A and B are shown apart, each in its own frame.
Chain A
Amino acid sequence: MASTIRVRAIANGDLTEVQALIQHPMDSGFVKDAQGQVIPAHFIQQLTFEHNGKIVFTADWGPAVAKDPYVKFGFKGAAKGDELKISWVDNKGGSDSTTAKIQ
């Protein structure tokens, strides 16, 4: 199965800019479906980015993060060709992870 995580990490000198897009419903638990049934909350709680064993960014998310979440940040100390490990866990115990090469 294709990964739910799409990452673009571009090194520009010492700075690496990371953009990640994750496929996830991010159901808030406040929305009803067409039958009037509440769609149970289902959202990513934690997303981490790791470079050379060091966590460079952690996101704690609530259900108010938009569907198919997007996040952008930058960090120093990586070079082109390095690997960036991205993983997430959601409130139902689901998870996914991927590794991206810094370009």
Chain B
Amino acid sequence: MGFSIERWPATRRLVLQGAGAVALFGLGGLAAPAARAAANDKYPEEAFRQKAEKDAIQALYGRTAEVSDKVKLDAPEIAENGAVVPISVTTTLANVTSISFLVSGNPNALAASYAIPEGTLPAVSNRLKMQQTSNVIAIVEAGGKLYSATKEVKVTVGGCGG
């Protein structure tokens, strides 16, 4: 009898441990997408530190982009002032989750990256600095894939040097 009484708490403990494990597992399953969202919200320091655009795209997304005519990059042919270059992108792609801008001639290629949640239009306008004449690259992340558009912008006065 004493043995069985002794067994009860043990069983209870086991059950609780099991429940704990299940709870943890359940949370783990739930936590995965939440953690990913949090990671997306975190400032991508590493990607902004990369010098070449290829490395920056790799650091930011972990994959490479394919050129798409569905990404429309609007930038001036000639920017008289490299300190303020108006650049915008729109796309007809569906399920867009982010849009990024890179300037290949800058000391660090990645200029800006925008998260596009559901319900937000896949279109962004902003103003970037350009050190010299170079390519501007727009990256659109849609349905887990990357699409890009590139345009060369001629800069007559650089926006990065003194």
Given contacts A31-B161, A73-B120, contact A64 B114 (CB under 8 A): no
A-B contact count (CB 8 A): 106
CB pair A56–B114 under 8 Å, yes or no, is: no
Q: Which residues of A contact B131 (CB under 8 A)?
A: 30
CB pair A28–B88 under 8 Å, yes or no, is: no
CB pair B127–A66 under 8 Å, yes or no, is: yes
Q: Within residues 107 to 155 of chain B, which ones have a CB less than 8 A from any CB in chain A?
A: 107-108, 110-117, 119-121, 123-131
Main secondary structure of the interface of A (DSSP, over half): strand
Which chain A residue shows the least CB distance to B120? A75
CB pair B119–A76 under 8 Å, yes or no, is: yes
Given contacts A54-B117, A56-B117, A57-B115, contact A62 B110 (CB under 8 A): yes
Which chain A residue shows the least CB distance to B127? A66
CB pair A66–B106 under 8 Å, yes or no, is: no
A79 contacts B by Cβ under 8 Å? no
Nearest CB in chain B: distance from A76 CB, A: 5
State the interface size on chain A (CB cutoff 8 A): 32
CB pair B161–A74 under 8 Å, yes or no, is: no
Given contacts A67-B83, A70-B127, contact A60 B159 (CB under 8 A): no
CB pair B103–A64 under 8 Å, yes or no, is: yes
Q: Which residues of B contact A100 (CB under 8 A)?
A: none
Q: Give the B-binding residues of A (Cβ under 8 A).
A: 15, 26, 28, 30-33, 45-46, 54-67, 69-77
Q: Give the A-binding residues of B (Cβ under 8 A).
A: 41, 43-44, 48, 83-85, 88, 103, 106-108, 110-117, 119-121, 123-131, 159-162
What are 5 contact pairs spanning A and B, CB under 8 A? A31-B161, A60-B115, A62-B111, A64-B108, A69-B127
